[in-house]
Amino acid sequence: MIKLGTRGSKLALAQSTQVAEALTRATGQQVELVEIVTAGDRSNAPVAELGVGVFVSALRDALTAKEVDFAVHSYKDLPTAPADGLVIAAVPPRADSRDALVARAGRTLSDLGTGATIGTGAVRRIAQLHALRRGLTPVPIRGNVDTRIRKVLDGELDAVILARAGIVRLGRTDEITETLDPLTMLPAPAQGALAVECRSDDVETVALLAALDDEYSRAAVLAERALLATLEAGCSAPVAALAEVAEGDDGPEIYLRGAVFSPDGTNTIRLSRTGTLADPAEVGRALARDLREEGADQLMGDQE
């Protein structure tokens, strides 16, 4: 029996269960889930205040202490810097990376009028809502998916925006009233992807988890996170990115879109790059350099 460390939230347990079942199907290895409480689970403060990696450090401590053999993270929650002694052994096939709207009365974003309250804890989403110039009112919120959707059902908010992947993994797809086009709401780097992490010196587990790895999903996430790292921006910064892998004239290639916003949405820089799968991280670094040349650092500096 191999031990999988997971947060205890419904979404984390759903994600970890899916990974455990996939590993058993692929290798026959039985998996035991071990719940780990993180600092993020104990606090109601906004993620932007808690800092990058707030949901991650306790899981990594358990890995390092050999209390568990591997851990499953929402990839977008991971700091961009690598962790000593640990390795991302697998990136399973990525779920839908887009954001989704859950609104009262089945409304879409265009149905929501001036002053409509939309709950989200992400600076990236808040900036893009402001950029629409529709007079919408973003409301910072924290809590799990159930808690956030309940605020809509109870009439406290007109709508909430969440990652579509999380809603689907919890079996609540029917409550989505609109899946947002990336042209309207570009997602966070690595949104919809999972990171399966273990100790780098645990050769057996590294080899076992390789059965879960999806080459295209890993390449897309590497490109997006390289952009984020090069901009020296954390997961709570107003930065968005989406990479897609498609067949090009000379084989598969990466198409990466990136954007940086001022928090009030008045200024936006959007650019794109293409590259090969040979070095997806370089595609991200190159696009980050392009964004910097256009003034990305000044836009992100508006946060201070």
Same-domain pairing of 197 and 84: yes
With a cut of 70, which residues of the chain have pLDDT below it? Answer: 38-54, 234-236, 301-304
Q: Domain holding 290: CATH number?
A: 3.30.160.40
* C-alpha span between 191 and 163 (Å, rounded): 7
Domain membership flag for residue 187? no
Domain membership flag for residue 73? yes
> Helix (H, G, I), strand (E, B), or coil: what is residue 287?
helix
Please tell me the predicted confidence (pLDDT) of residue 234.
Answer: 63
Same-domain pairing of 22 and 150: no
Q: Pseudo-torsion of CA 226, 231, 234, 236, nearest 10°?
A: -110
Same-domain pairing of 261 and 140: no
For every residue of 67-130, which 3-state class applies, written as one string? CCCEEEEEHHHCCCCCCCCEEEEECCCCCCCCEEEEEHHHCCHHHCCCCCEEECCCHHHHHHHH
- Give the closest residue to 117 by CA, choosing from 78, 73, 151, 70: 151
pTM listed for this prediction = 0.90
Same-domain pairing of 209 and 226: no
Same-domain pairing of 107 and 254: no
Pairing of strands 194-199, 70-74: antiparallel
Domain membership flag for residue 188? no
Same-domain pairing of 81 and 106: no
Domain membership flag for residue 296? yes
Range of the domain at 254: 220-301
Active site residue 77: yes
DSSP-assigned states of every residue in 200-250: TT-HHHHHHHGGG--HHHHHHHHHHHHHHHHTT--TTSSEEEEEEEEEETT
Same-domain pairing of 75 and 9: yes
Domains of the chain: total:
3
Same-domain pairing of 172 and 124: yes
Record the tokens describing residue 94, joined without a space. Answer: 């990525």
Backbone phi and psi for residue 113, each to the nearest 5 degrees, phi listed first: -90, 180
Please, which residues have CB within 8 angstroms of residue 284's CB and are 6 or more apart in sequence? Answer: 222, 223, 224, 225, 226, 227, 228, 229, 230, 241, 243, 256, 258
Bridge partners, residue 258, by sequence: 241, 271
Same-domain pairing of 87 and 8: yes
Domain membership flag for residue 28? yes
Same-domain pairing of 22 and 158: no
Q: Domain holding 42: CATH number?
A: 3.40.190.10
Q: What is the CA radius of gyration of the chain?
A: 19
* C-alpha span between 168 and 85 (Å, rounded): 33
Domain membership flag for residue 268? yes
Exactly one of 77, 99, 158, 202 is catalytic; name it: 77
* C-alpha span between 66 and 56 (Å, rounded): 16
In this predicted model, what pLDDT tens digit does every residue of 268-283 receive, in sequence order?
A: 999 999 999 999 999 9
Contact 124, 237 (CB under 8 A): yes
- Give the closest residue to 243 by CA, choosing from 218, 266, 262, 207: 218
Domain membership flag for residue 186? no
Domain membership flag for residue 44? yes
Contact 237, 299 (CB under 8 A): no
Same-domain pairing of 87 and 200: yes
* C-alpha span between 120 and 52 (Å, rounded): 17
Same-domain pairing of 26 and 167: no
